[in-house]
Amino acid sequence: MSIAKGREITISALKYNPRVKGSKPEFVDYKLEETPGMTLFIALTKIREEYDPDLSFDFVCRAGICGSCGMVVNGKPALACRTLISNYPEGKLKLMPMPAFELIKDLSVNTGKWMDAMSVKVESWIVNNEEVDITKMESKVDPDVADETFELDRCIECGICVASCGTKLMRPDFVGPVGLNRVARFEVDPHDERTAEDFYELIGDDNGIFGCMSLLACEDHCPKHLPLQNKIAYLRRKLVSLR
């Protein structure tokens, strides 16, 4: 079967290397032929191999699972690997690195450093004084509660909610929707012994649960469709009573 020639598309990417003297931010246009099912992963890989071996971007799983490839596509943050070119009828895609994170180069930003700091800040782990005896039966968990924990554990730390967040622009130390969701996740986990008071100590301020202005672009853009609106509202209601 032969493949019909695809349309010509234009990918315009921001290029800038802050570590090289004299480098200035600029948009560089790449014109290429669209192939069936082409995603930004395929397009950017092609650009690097055939047009510009110096273009930096991050992909790992290229399947929407690892959260590496968040970038701003025509003004909206999205996972590049799940961005289908065919969804852009004009055939023009303008790519920028996500704001709110330290720029490494071109489309690559340092989400890892930010997420680790957030994880430490909200103590993103099970707190439990009892050492589990792993030779014995596991403790039972209500299947519904396990499912509910899993739902909130689906966050992939891609940073899209942070890049979408108006509060983050005003408050550089805001833990972001990702951080608040993380607290909500441990709050529901029966293995975690922390109380509402303990969580209040972690996020009971304007860099935490009381900082959110409820603009909710986070929920609009979350590629995992996490219930950020409900969970932030729930946590705020729960923690405001402790204020």
Q: Is 111 in the site for another protein (CB under 8 A)?
A: yes
End-to-end CA distance of the chain: 68
Interface with another protein (CB under 8 A), residue from 113, 197, 206, 240: 113
Question: With binding defined as CB under 8 A, does residue 219 bind another protein?
Answer: no
Within a 10 A sphere around the Cβ of 101, how many other Cβ atoms? Answer: 20
Residue 45 Cα distances to 14, 132, 221, angstroms: 16, 46, 24
- Residue closer to another protein, measured from CB, 50 or 206: 50
Name which of 152 and 216 has its Cβ closer to another protein. Answer: 152
Which among 189, 184, 202 has a CA at the least distance from the CA of 238?
184
* Coil vs helix vs strand at 179: helix
DSSP letter assigned to residue 9: E
Tokens of residue 182, six digits: 């993380």
Total site size for another protein, rule CB under 8 A: 67
Q: Beta partners for 32?
A: 9
| 206 touches 171 (CB < 8 A) | yes
Residue 58: name the closest of 31, 95, 86 by CA: 95
Per-residue binder mask for another protein (CB under 8 A), 75-104, x = binder: -------x-x-------------------x
Query: Out of 26, 75, 90, 138, which residue is the one contacting another protein (CB under 8 A)?
Result: 138
Question: Closest approach of Cβ 225 to another protein, in Å?
Answer: 9
Contact 73, 40 (CB under 8 A): yes
Among 7, 10, 33, 132, binds another protein (CB under 8 A): 132
Site for another protein in 16-75 (CB under 8 A): 17, 19-20, 36-37, 39, 48-50, 53-56, 58-68
What residues make contact with another protein under the rule CB under 8 A? 1, 3, 17, 19-20, 36-37, 39, 48-50, 53-56, 58-68, 82, 84, 104-106, 110-113, 115-116, 119-120, 123-126, 128, 132, 134-143, 146-147, 149-150, 153-154, 156-157, 186, 189, 191-192
